[in-house]
Structure 1
Amino acid sequence: MVCFECFGLRIRFHWLSAVTAFLLFLAFSSLGVWQFGKAKAKIEALEQSEVLASQEPVNLRELSFGGLVSDRISLQGKGVFINGHYLNDKNIFLIYKHYQDMIGYEVITPFRIREDNGVVLVSRGWITAPSPTQLVEKVTSVIGEIRLTGQIYVPESDVEVGAELGEVDWPLITKDISVTNLKDIFDGPIYPYLVRAGEDVPGVLVRYWPVINPDLGMHFSYAMQWFGMALSVLAVFFIACSGLKDRFIRWLK
């Protein structure tokens, strides 16, 4: 038991309770700092993507890929161009995509590159339709070879749709896609990331996606909650050790 006086208050506490309170304070404070760190990282990633987007587009075939973590830093939002044609009979529709309070689909059409016969998944944007049948009718085919410009999108993770897709009935309607699971469906190599079609690309739809959604308010809110809990631990510990609770109860009586 430790006892001493401070500002006219007699402080009494056990070492075990002090250590517990200190560890809780450190834990909650660390979580608050962690949330601030995540917000800072997203701001830096957004700034980097804006720099990459402002640069002249480069040939996608000239880029090297090093994995999700490094590519999110070095390639996210980078402008690229490719030459080839759409595989119009192999559309992929991602469901539950929101735009201006409406639910619709993200349309992804594979693109065959002329030079190496590789395949790139191109996100053409957002569209809405009452039913899958009408959706197919609304998505127009782009015939012939084109020069496509757009921006690379590197996801946070390569979402697994399933162990094997097996036989695919086109168009493929799903919630998420995994490039890993699609690589055996197409002839030739498949590039690891989506390319989001630019504004003037033939067949582009509503370009509804931001390159990065910082969602900073959520991180700052969580950080304030963790810091508040850390201060609450100190306040409760001080009140319990100083006898202020008993004084307040006696004052009420």
Structure 2
Amino acid sequence: MFGFEQKEHYSCMIDLLGRAGKLTDAERLIEAMPLNPGSIGWGSLLRACRTHGNMDLAVKAANQFLQLEPSNAVPYVMLANIYAASGKWEEVATIRRLMRDRGVQKKPGFSWIEVKKQMHVFVAEDGSHPMIKEIHNYLEEMSRKMKQAGYVPDVRWALVKDDEIGHGEKEKRLVHHSEKLAVAFGLLSTSYGEPILVMKNLRICGDCHNAIKFISAIAGREITVRDTYRFHCFKDGRCSCGDYW
């Protein structure tokens, strides 16, 4: 009999191999395991495939994940995002149709931050916050500074087809992601040098992760974002996760 702790040990090894880009070794470890790696193990491999762009293995990992937890939206969304980043929109449509047919719903993404004992919640393209104009203006000015420092918006994370909206509109959507809105509000509403903490109910997007690294350096602030996987501590243009999450 193999207990929970042993499964956790195998999952840690899968994650370590995935972080190192040794996806073949991770796959071999799974195949040689005396027990099913479970959704944690397959999820670790799936995230590694996303990071390192291994489409074929990502499909295998996602399918195994789905067999174990067919009602869990995570493998559907991760696989759809991998397809979208590669421009495989027919496959994206297939995943979304499968989710509808199975009644699986993706959680709406939102971010929140507490300032002066008051909670402020943001969603993408949010226009409801009383300071939204100041937030948008701040992000526009920050975007100019970021681009001067070498930031290039990764429009793949807009997750829309090229023939639906233009490049400029994709960039605008990225600027208005919930975690960027929350970070901007936090910087505007706190004293210089004060660290801020933003929470997000989903995984931070790749473009936001890169952008907040630039923001931390330009604003001279320590910015922590806690998503569903880990704490990301951004400081001086770097993240504590080492760009792997």
Q: TM-score, normalised by structure 1?
A: 0.23
Between Structure 1 and Structure 2, the one with more helix by share is 2
Between Structure 1 and Structure 2, the one with more strand by share is 1
Choose 1 or 2 for highest CA Rg: 1
